Amino acid sequence: MTNPLLSDWRSEFALPPFDAIEDDAFAPAFDVALAEARANIARIGGQGAAPSFANTIAALELAEQRLDRVMGVFHNLAAADSTPAREALQRELAPKLAAFSSEVTMNKALFERIETLWQSRETLDLDAEEDRVLTLYRRMFIRAGAALDGAARDRMAAIRERLAVLSTAFSQNLLADERGWTMPLADADLEGLPDFVIASARAAAEERGQEGHVLTLSRALVVPFLQFSPRRDLREAAYAAWVARGANGGATDNRAIAAEILALRQERAQLLGYASFADYKLEPEMAKTPAAVRDLLMRVWAPARQKAVQDADVLTAMMHEDGINGDLEAWDWRYYSEKRRLAEHDLDEGVIKPYLTLEAMIGAAFDCATRLFGLEFRPLSVPLYHPDAQAWEVTRKGVHVAVFIGDYFARASKRSGAWCSSFRSQRKLGGAVRPIAVNVCNFAKPAAGQAALLSWDDARTLFHEFGHALHVMLSDVTFGMISGTAVARDFVELPSQLFEHWLEVPQVLDRHARHAITSDPMPADLRDRLLAARTYDQGFATVEYIASALVDLAFHEGPAPADPMAAQAGVLADLDMPHAIRMRHATPHFAHVFSGDGYSSGYYSYMWSEVMDADAFEAFEEAGDPFDPATAQKLERHILSAGGSQEPDALYLAFRGKMPGVEPLLKGRGLL
């Protein structure tokens, strides 16, 4: 039979034939795709013709098309709907794909051709995008070790292969710990919990084939439990399990893996002549240096910590009033903070959530995209990889723009968190290709026949990930290498965090925040209280985030720590971390940093981008309209459609005319 991963995809919009793809199709498809890519690379590097942009750079852009297609399907499915077969293949593929990447980017013949082109680029009559792509290829090859020789070259290839194995193991261990823990909840344990938490716990039990109610380590379930359960003993047990992910001993323990990853990263940087991995990693980013990152984080840390300490005093007093003596603990913070929010802002999560249904918030995100960029969304009835996933065709003035897939509910086969990815990226080279973007979240799934209710943070997450999707879908470049979100790590969060601002536009809530049962709009006074409290508890949120970012930076800024857990403790002690707040992602489950190199030395990037997103939304406020057409057009032209076609500071300057300071960020977080 023809392998569906290798055949032409004749479905509407050339979507992957999900209903025909079995797990046993992936391994042979990878074998064929890798062989084809190797042959193409060998042909490019070994050709007798003198190097030209067309026969080298453009050819490289198209050399791995089939492999990219197979990987796009496999990696998305392995993350969003894992199976034992997919996990086994991930482990098998990780070193193979890393070895292939090394073969390409350390290929001497290819590098010589690229270097020849780069040295003579002034005479090549390249347009701006071609010059940018050539420069990025040269940088990519050099940073991969193409200029190394002998033992250093061999060692670099071995390091990259080993890192791929370790990051895969880290991810799979974390997923195993997350899906392997449940806590049954007896009827008495449900006391004080809102109906939506009880319903989520019942749905979690049903998914696992259990009776009654269970607590899981899905953030969408464990966080509301910590907010509302009056049972301090149960909160402590749940919190302990949540923060112990990846550090439970045995086969799924990630602590030794993290130590080895850090040591290999340091060695990799030193082979390339850098003092530290942070110096290596940050060189192509907007921040450029570890010192610049630390400066930003510490400028925000001081006011954030001061606010958090003040809040801790208030929450401690509330706890003592309940007759509980001693210190406020991490498993107490959310519970007393929720009670304080109700007292000070008259905001009850159980009252808010019925107005924030998943369907309504998807509609709100789509409506904002329509009003800003003229996009229209048409539901598609097509086979997808999981029954929970939904798809829409995205058009503008009747012209196809993209396919958007939303996969919103938590399940045991899905890794935690929320992310945006793509099954196919936009490009024009070799024929116009339009993207297939996917947003994956972990919202609590409702019982059959009931609406899915989101928290305010859930709704913000949905808007955040859709901002990434807009970056993917509105991309308008020639070369896939710079398409969509292929930008500096500390720039990639700008579109996502900027789009969050539209959730807070009153007219958006007035139009879309409607009660799940009555369809009544959210009352104006509730809306106003909700928006007035948007900076509530930002001391806590900022402290837990910056602590994680500073630990990440410290891990990579100097010699790799032999004991990352001790190094983590040292950083937190130096910061005088408030007792009742833990870092958002402790080392054994810090997937951003250890499930790949993406955010290593780069977890700070959310805050770096926030400096820009706060300033960028002010452009709309200065125009007097959150949907100002001229400002939206500039945003699309210079940011969303431009991909990585220029350095990020040049793109931002083209949009805004100036670089921002930190004040809008502090104002937005209520820390001034």
Distance CA 330, CA 335 (A): 10
Distance CA 446, CA 528 (A): 28
Would you call 465 a catalytic residue per the annotation? yes
What's the token pair of residue 614? 């706060």
Beta bridge partners of 402: 394
Contact assessment for residue 481 and residue 136, using Cβ atoms and an 8 Å cutoff = yes
Sign of the CA dihedral running 224, 226, 231, 236: positive
Tokens 């809040």 locate to 311
What's the token pair of residue 301? 């840390």
Nearest by Cα to 28 from 100, 93, 95, 94: 93
What's the token pair of residue 632? 């939206």
Q: Rounded to 5 degrees, what angle do the CA atoms 582, 490, 589 make? A: 35
274 to each of 9, 145, 413, 594, how far by Cα in Å?
45, 12, 39, 20
Nearest by Cα to 498 from 464, 521, 473: 464
Q: Which residues contact 636 (CB under 8 A, 6 or more apart)?
A: 372, 373, 474
Q: Which residue among 64, 130, 465, 493 is the active-site one?
A: 465
Distance CA 510, CA 523 (A): 8
42 to each of 6, 102, 338, how far by Cα in Å?
21, 14, 61
Helices (H), 188-289: 195-207, 219-228, 232-243, 255-271, 277-282
Tokens 């939506």 locate to 196
Q: Give the strands of the sheet with 419-424, arranged side by side.
A: 376-380, 390-396, 399-409, 436-443, 419-424
DSSP class per residue in 428-489: -TTS-B--EEEEEEEEPPPPTTS--B--HHHHHHHHHHHHHHHHHHT---S-GGGSTT-S-H
Question: Judging by beta carbons within 10 Å of its beta carbon (0-12, 13-18, 19+), is residue 379 exposed, middle or buried?
Answer: exposed
81 to each of 384, 454, 618, how far by Cα in Å?
12, 22, 39
Q: Rounded to 5 degrees, what angle do the CA atoms 139, 160, 439 make? A: 80
What's the token pair of residue 191? 């006391």
Contact assessment for residue 287 and residue 293, using Cβ atoms and an 8 Å cutoff = yes
Q: Rounded to 5 degrees, what angle do the CA atoms 178, 315, 590 make? A: 25
103 to each of 100, 108, 266, how far by Cα in Å?
5, 9, 22
Distance CA 282, CA 278 (A): 6
What Rg, from alpha-carbon coordinates, does the chain have? 25
Distance CA 75, CA 246 (A): 22
Q: Which residues contact 520 (CB under 8 A, 6 or more apart)?
A: 514
Amino acid type, 110: L
Write out the catalytic residue numbers.
465
